[in-house]
Structure 1
């Protein structure tokens, strides 16, 4: 009887160790849950960006009766950029920029934020964020999830800026507002609309304000 009891205890210990080992292995292989920021990025096709060799687009702004545009050819894997305007064409690599190219790069960053802000949520560092549910969006006044992105006072060309992003239940951005550093009130709020998919990238091609006198939109988008 004593031998049987000892064998039973040994078997129990062995089974317990195996079960513990299996649980440990399961925890190790478990995929970490995505953050809200990662979910927003992925909802817009972030996982496909690594396959993009060249992204071209034209950035357009209509403000009242004034039209402005500039075009970009961006090779993200090489970090090589070409800017095309009515006056000039400029090519540069972002790791090595002179003063003229640095100014062009400021324009590139601005336009890229409008085009791919969902990806900036995982690309960028140096910001704090907070999330609130069921907040009225500034234009549609529909309840959405509000994500506040507050950049610090050190990084980027315009440090200290704050963005409030309004996403739907599928983590797609529908509206946003921009508050410059030093201000307590948003300078601009626009829609994110007319989404189209380009080689897996889900892009809002049009942004408009509530008053209807400002429209920012993208044309000639190609993702290779």
Structure 2
């Protein structure tokens, strides 16, 4: 597994998503074609409006105990130009030309974007993982019955090959909780809520994620969609 540059000690608690990362993939579905569960989750979160997005800006925040970490991203989706803004630095690069000097920065972007747009990543990444749907299973936080989608990324490629994610959702296909399992181990490394959904230009985004077992919240501020 590639090591990402550690920008803050709080990042030790932040999962880093696997990447097939074909960000501009679009679903072409005939009217009489049944959507897959991946597509149903993406569309429940407004994926059909993604084609109208030219840029998205957001600040990724983590509060853990008494510490706070944040960084801001501007992603121009057409050109794949990305700008990272922190208190120390402003870095701009193009995702089509990431070399070893930018791998740490790009890894941070991929992680933060994954938290922001995970329902869409199910479509963008679908050739890079296997998946399984389990109906009516107890969710880890609320202990209520939900559906569980498990994705397991391939062992080759990406920043964190072999990792697994369990998405818990109801009949509306909106994610309520998820679990991250490093290298597909049996027990989760992190479980968080998905809450405080906001709709921006048709995109439905969860702004807040909390852990039930720690003083930890991961949230987004300053989200702008154009």
TM-score range, shorter chain: 0.7 to 0.9
| Larger displacement relative to structure 2 (98-107 or 160-169) | 98-107
Match of 1:33 in 2: 34
Match of 1:14 in 2: none
- Structure 1 residue ranges without an equivalent (≥5): 1-28
* Shift of residue 184, structure 1, vs aligned partner: 2.5
- SS of the residue corresponding to residue 71 of structure 2 reads strand
* Shift of residue 100, structure 1, vs aligned partner: 2.7
Note the aligned Cα RMSD (angstroms).
Answer: 1.1
- Judge conservation of contact 2:152–2:184 (CA < 8 Å) in 1: no
* Shift of residue 126, structure 1, vs aligned partner: 1.7
2:184 and 2:45 map into 1 onto residues whose CA distance is 31
User: Over alpha carbons, which structure has the higher Rg?
Assistant: 1
Counterparts of 1:13-32 in structure 2, within 5 Å, are 31-32=32-33
Match of 1:219 in 2: 221
1:30 and 1:102 map into 2 onto residues whose CA distance is 41
Match of 2:104 in 1: 103
Q: Report the TM-score, using the length of structure 2 for normalisation.
A: 0.84
2:31 and 2:83 map into 1 onto residues whose CA distance is 42
- SS of the residue corresponding to residue 34 of structure 1 reads coil
Match of 2:130 in 1: 128
1:162 to 161, 164, 173: 164
Counterparts of 1:26-175 in structure 2, within 5 Å, are 31-124=32-125, 125-175=127-177
Higher relative contact order (CA 8 A, sep 6+): 2
Mark the CA change 1:64 to 1:205 in structure 2 (over 3 Å): closer, same or farther: same
* Shift of residue 182, structure 1, vs aligned partner: 5.9
Q: Report the TM-score, using the length of structure 1 for normalisation.
A: 0.85
**Cα distance per residue 1:148-171 (max 9 Å; x no partner):** 001110131000000000011100
**Cα distance per residue 1:50-90 (max 9 Å; x no partner):** 11011000000011111000000001111110000111000
2:101 and 2:72 map into 1 onto residues whose CA distance is 17
Mark the CA change 1:30 to 1:120 in structure 2 (over 3 Å): closer, same or farther: closer
2:196 to 194, 197, 200: 194
**Cα distance per residue 1:156-212 (max 9 Å; x no partner):** 100000000001110000000000016321000000000000101000000001124
Runs of 4+ in 1 over 6 A off after TM superposition: none
2:63 and 2:31 map into 1 onto residues whose CA distance is 48
2:101 and 2:140 map into 1 onto residues whose CA distance is 37
2:184 and 2:142 map into 1 onto residues whose CA distance is 27
1:178 to 171, 177, 180: 180
- SS of the residue corresponding to residue 96 of structure 2 reads coil
- Judge conservation of contact 2:164–2:184 (CA < 8 Å) in 1: no
